[in-house]
Amino acid sequence: MNIQQAKDEIARTYRAYTRRNPDGTHRIPVEKQRPVLLIGPPGIGKTAIMRQIAAECDCGLVAYSMTHHTRQSAIGLPYIAQKVYAGVSRPVTEYTMSEIVAAIYDYMEASGRRSGILFLDEINCVSETLTPVMLQLLQNKTFGNVPLPEDWIIVAAGNPPEYNKSVRELDMVTLDRVKHIDVAADLAVWQRYAVEQGVHPAVRTYLSVYPDHFYRITETDRGLLFVTARGWEDMSLMLSAMTEDGVDVDGDWCLQYLQDDEIARSFALYYDLFTHLTDRIQTEVGTPEPFSLARLLADNPPVLSARTSTECLAIAAMLVHPVELEARRLAEADKRLARRASLAAMMPGDDAFGVEEGVRAFFEQKRQALGIKVAHGVIKPEEEYRERSVLAALEADALAWRKLPREGRVGFSAFERARIEAARMDLNRDGKQLSGEVEAAYGVLERCPQGRSALLYLTSDLAASKPCADLLASHPSSCFERYKKEIEA
């Protein structure tokens, strides 16, 4: 199955294993809960989906790479205990708690989460001395003599032997006790992920032209030549950073991430075309204001003449990238407005609001609550930033309200509702403008002689991006709907 299907299956497994009967017992008895064994080639996103599953299921995640562990750290260190047998006290060897199990309890105490996933990567690459410990874990959910906490499930991952010389084959007895999932690279699934992650448009369009370059492993007399999904994503991050410095990207540079000479040099040539095309268009139509490139190109048809299908794809990427960025901004602004309205409704009433201490106490309490969440790791960085921004905006509004003349001044609740409504009207206006830019982008590509594949690429990208799809649901684009139906047919 592909990585998205694997992610969905693991999430379903977590929910099934933690579901309980009315009497409190597990729906699936703990002893019948098979650990998940995820086997797939390196760099396709096995670790990434675990973070996504934990976020979506709102559960804990403790991850370990098993190649970094010894038998002692996995099962604990031996110590001598005294026990009485048949009336005689005798020294007996026992073991301290496993570092891994202890890490789960530490996480539970810090985060307050009582259930979660223990993710053990490279499970089939452990040392020979650690192999029996791993088999015991997979079969009994225990490290040494210490079981995992209730409602914590095991997901183990490994690479097939053809990709890693350190792999040890798991025997049938072990495989018969796990939920075995084989996962393969899938470009279509990764492209949807790439849109959400903001992967550089040159990478996304290149792989639309050369899909067979997405994931490749070739054995040569020089060793393995390989390109993975991880390599494309990591290179994208550096491309975005290097663009700001004006650094040239050539085949040798790409080889740092795409460890296949042919593909690295092929992408370098495409990236050169992509950047030169961007420069040429800006020279011919001028440097556009934000979100106006499509309109400028629509007003300059000669710029689009004699374009190859590859160039049309590059143009599509230039058009859709700023749309995606603006759609994300609007979606985030909408979330902040919703949170702002929610907090404003909790604030002291209009009469009490004039009392400085009450206002100060309100904001102090919210900041302390936020600090606790941050300290325990139960809030994402983007959510923390949003909360701090909303609190700052509310404080600024409170200050502005206090400075108004008392005579004829409305209550703070009415004042803040008016501010939020004005902000929503601005968002609605920006959304309509962005939808118009999408229509203009379709008009541009429809004029390209070889623009057919670019039109479908544009539609797929917009549909795969949740912020874009939500925007176009609120502010419909007839062209988007038409091409979307064509793709779905």
pLDDT tens, 116-166?
A: 998 988 777 666 666 777 777 777 777 767 788 888 988 988 887 766 666
- d(Cα 153, Cα 28) in Å, to the nearest integer? 12
Q: Where are the alpha helices (DSSP H) in 347-411?
A: 350-353, 356-375, 381-402
User: Which residues sit opposite 184 in a β-bridge?
Assistant: 2
Average pLDDT over residues 179-196: 87
pLDDT tens, 243-281?
A: 666 667 888 888 999 999 889 999 998 888 888 777 766
Average pLDDT over residues 7-17: 92
Please check the confidence at residue 306 and state whether its pLDDT lies above 70: no
Residue 471 confidence (pLDDT): 93
pLDDT class for 349, splitting at 50, 70, 90? low
Higher pLDDT, 412 or 286: 412
H-helix or E-strand containing 80?
strand 78-85
Query: Could you tell me how many helices (H) and strands (E) the chain has, helices first?
Result: 20, 11
Task: Report the b/e string of 387-422 with b at 16+ CB within 10 A.
Answer: beebbebbeebbeebeeeeeeeeeebeebbeebbee
Residue 432 confidence (pLDDT): 93
Please check the confidence at residue 303 and state whether its pLDDT lies above 80: no
Ranges for all domains in the chain classified under CATH 3.40.50.300: 3-184
Average pLDDT over residues 43-71: 81
Please check the confidence at residue 354 and state whether its pLDDT lies above 70: no
Residue 163 confidence (pLDDT): 67
Please check the confidence at residue 78 and state whether its pLDDT lies above 50: yes
Enter the tokens of residue 22. Answer: 């009315």
- The residue assigned the tokens 């899938």 is 186
pLDDT tens, 397-452?
A: 888 887 888 777 777 788 888 999 999 999 999 999 899 889 888 888 888 777 78
Looking at the domain that runs over 3-184, which CATH code has it been given? Answer: 3.40.50.300
Residue 352 confidence (pLDDT): 45
Higher pLDDT, 112 or 358: 112
The residues near 266 (Cβ < 8 Å, ≥ 6 apart) are 210, 213
Q: What rounded mean pLDDT belongs to the chain? A: 81
- d(Cα 374, Cα 279) in Å, to the nearest integer? 44
Instruction: Check: CB of residue 430 under 8 Å from CB of residue 330.
Output: yes
